Structure 1
Amino acid sequence: MAKTKPGKKDLDSYSIKGTNKVVRPGDCVLMRPSDSDKPPYVAKVEKLEADHRNNVKVRVRWYYRPEESIGGRRQFHGAKELFLSDHLDVQSAHTIEGKCIVHSFKNYTKLENVGPEDYFCRFEYKAATGGFTPDRVAVYCKCEMPYNPDDLMVQCEGCKDWFHPSCMGMSIDEAKKLEHFLCSDCSSEDDTKRPLNSFHVSPPDEAKVESKRRKR
């Protein structure tokens, strides 16, 4: 008579080997790639389970980097941007190298300092089709590109739109020295002839400029 195979046991947590870090379902982790030249993979832990030999497996939902997506990396993608995919997988827990934090886009733009463990996600990604949710986002500046949190942007006092200094013929240093700013469209319509070389260096809290952000 055949023996039934012992079942798998769900785990509440897993301690990363060689560290004091504990991983739980819902956490985001860095996973060792097969190619050591590549950066670690990023995944969201869905479930932890051990077999009868106490081998721990982790069920994950992969995050994709922009360059790993079908459309590739585009100008507005941030250096720490990830897409939460519908690609599910099972891996050995031994491949977990560390933990990380994948922030919402809004929370990421409020960070004073961005550490190596900080990432952000604003899109969900369908791995098979290359489709995104949402498939439309607000665009800014005369270049009509979505907001890249790595780039400094300045706000026009007239139309309240945001602009890249380079698109307005200014350097980053020039932009930081000015106090007020009117875009070319608003300045041509401005009867009071306010000075053109000025702008708000600090935008509202929900869209802070990145001039004070430092990578550590």
Structure 2
Amino acid sequence: MPPRDNQIHSSAGDFPKFSPQKQQGTLLMAKPKAPRQTLDSYTVKRINKTIRAGDCVLMRPSEPSKPSYVAKVEKIEADSRGANVKVHVRWYYRPEESIGGRRQFHGSKEVFLSDHFDVQSADTIEGKCTVHTFKSYTKLDAVGNDDYFCRFEYNSSTGAFNPDRVAVYCKCEMPYNPDDLMVQCESCSDWFHPACIEMTVEEAKKLDHFFCESCSSEGQKKLQNSQSTSRLAETKVDTKRRRR
């Protein structure tokens, strides 16, 4: 889970704060913090990648055995000399990091955009990535290592999701997992997992036509009628050709 101990909360003003301190009978005033500047972009030298606000990045996890954290860059700041660069980020959570945990319909590259904001050193960025919408992710010809998708926003305090309802498919009435093969009924257009209709994935891949149990009799009639119509059309074409 993204670290919480460094989470930054907005303060009630941007004015420098002074805290009087007594030392050997003398009242001292603490020096105001040096102003920081917002950067349009920053090149992380270790990976030779330039980041900007709005980019999605992979950040170093707290433990080497864990996968990189996924975050969206909100703002980039540096001190007056352009050093000590910090990134304001909004964390994406993986399903297993959420209160409800990973479920069957969650994809292996699925992340949730959370309400958890943080400030981290830019040096903890390990690379850039792309977080697609669910729709655009399902249209990818090939999924790369740095491709992720998001279809939910996640409240890290309550565990609530937005939206809290999504379309469900198949007999099992589960949301769509883009990692799983599904077959579509040609009659009702619903989608089914091969296992839920007592079929192997290999068998499903070989199907030319599929009608679910509810539509099977009607579907077979449509298929037979379409085949008869097709044969009749072919006969008419052949007849016309012979007459020429």
The structure 2 residue matched to 1:72, chosen from 94, 98, 101, is: 101
* Whole-angstrom distance in 2 between the partners of 1:191 and 1:87: 53
Which amino acid in structure 2 is aligned with residue 67 of structure 1?
E
- How far off its partner does 1:194 sit? 4.8
Report whether the alignment pairs 1:41 with 2:48. Answer: no
The structure 1 residue matched to 2:78, chosen from 50, 61, 67, is: 50
Give secondary structure in 1 for the equivalent of 2:203: helix
The structure 2 residue matched to 1:167, chosen from 196, 204, 210, is: 196
Cα contact 2:47–2:126 (8 A) shared by 1: no
May I ask how many residue pairs the two structures share in their alignment? 195
Q: Deviations over 1:139-167 (max 9, x none)?
A: 00011000000011111011110111111
Q: Which TM-score applies when normalising by structure 1?
A: 0.86
Structure 1 match to 2:88: 59
- How far off its partner does 1:185 sit? 1.1
The structure 1 residue matched to 2:45, chosen from 5, 17, 20, is: 17
- How far off its partner does 1:191 sit? 6.9
Structure 1 match to 2:16: none
Q: Deviations over 1:12-56 (max 9, x none)?
A: 111123222100000000000120010000000000001245100
Q: Which runs of 5+ in 1 are unaligned?
A: 196-216
Q: Percent identity?
A: 72
Give secondary structure in 1 for the equivalent of 2:152: strand
* Whole-angstrom distance in 2 between the partners of 1:67 and 1:149: 17
How large is the Cα RMSD of the aligned pairs? 1.6
* Whole-angstrom distance in 2 between the partners of 1:168 and 1:184: 9
Report whether the alignment pairs 1:148 with 2:177. Answer: yes
The structure 2 residue matched to 1:131, chosen from 160, 178, 181, is: 160
Give secondary structure in 1 for the equivalent of 2:131: strand
* Whole-angstrom distance in 2 between the partners of 1:40 and 1:120: 15
Cα contact 2:186–2:219 (8 A) shared by 1: no
The structure 2 residue matched to 1:100, chosen from 123, 129, 138, is: 129
Q: Which TM-score applies when normalising by structure 2?
A: 0.76
Q: Deviations over 1:98-137 (max 9, x none)?
A: 0000000000000000000000000000000000000000
Higher relative contact order (CA 8 A, sep 6+): 1
Larger gyration radius, structure 1 or structure 2:
2
Q: Deviations over 1:64-118 (max 9, x none)?
A: 0000000000000000000000000001111000000000000000000000000
Structure 2 CA distance for partners of 1:28 and 1:193, relative to 1, 3 Å: closer
- How far off its partner does 1:190 sit? 4.9
Q: Which runs of 5+ in 2 are unaligned?
A: 1-28, 225-244
* Whole-angstrom distance in 2 between the partners of 1:59 and 1:83: 18
Structure 2 CA distance for partners of 1:91 and 1:182, relative to 1, 3 Å: same
The runs of at least 4 aligned residues of structure 1 exceeding 6 Å deviation read: none
* Whole-angstrom distance in 1 between the partners of 2:167 and 2:152: 13
Cα contact 1:187–1:193 (8 A) shared by 2: no
